[in-house]
Amino acid sequence: MSDVKSIAVLMPGSSFSNRWVAELMDLYAHLLSHYHLRMSWAEGNNIYLTRENCLAQAMGDPNGQPDYLLWLDSDNPPSRAGFELLMAAMEASPEVSAVGGWYRFFLPDSLSVHLAAGLRDNDGKCHHVSEEQARQTEHLIEVEFIGFGFCLMRSKVVQDIGLYKCFEPLLMDPPRNGRTWCTDDDGFFARARAAGHRVFVHPAVFVEHEKRINVPGRFESPVQTKTLEKELA
């Protein structure tokens, strides 16, 4: 019986930058030479369904379910070095069910930048891991949620949650900040933790977050137009 582990790479999205593709090629060559490898794609305008379709492909292989799942989002260029760190952490610690790299994201409502990983207090308020903490910590940081941008997990997590429960939108009770449902990553890891799994962010694995902001040719909002006219008067 072969001791070679199997891994499925899940890549939701429809557009990938040159840098993303270049990084994937290096990682692909490494994975192909060390694991039984399968690739899974899906795209759509509903992130819950897109991730579910991607996951169903990976878990439905007739040759059996993979040992590991590696999520690579289309706006987070992966890296071979980063993957090796994630896998080393997982192989060294059986209690690690999922571990991911850290990356920044922008909240337009508060005009603030945060890391896509953190904890929640008893009232449901989110406390993101700080960039200072990520840069200065020399060990894995346990969190309640982490972004899927560059995230490695054991397939046992999906088996314990249930394939078609993983990305079923999870309602918040009570609502948080006016929202009544969890994001795809928040809901998934809430279910994973409820099933007894532990989630970590790897402070040595930083991932870029490629985001493009559209600059409009003209103001569409009458409020903005009125303000602009007042400033020019």
DSSP 106-119: EETTTTEEEESEEE
pTM of the model: 0.86
pLDDT tens-digit map of 154-204:
999 999 999 999 999 988 766 666 667 788 999 999 999 999 999 999 999
pLDDT tens-digit map of 127-157:
889 999 999 999 999 999 999 999 999 999 9
SS3 37: strand
CA separation (Å) from 9 to 31, 40, 55, 58, 83? Answer: 9, 6, 9, 8, 11
Radius of gyration of the CA atoms of the chain, in A: 19
Given a cut of 70, is residue 222 above it in pLDDT? Answer: no
Q: Assess contact for 204 and 139: CB atoms under 8 A.
A: no
Q: Assess contact for 113 and 106: CB atoms under 8 A.
A: yes
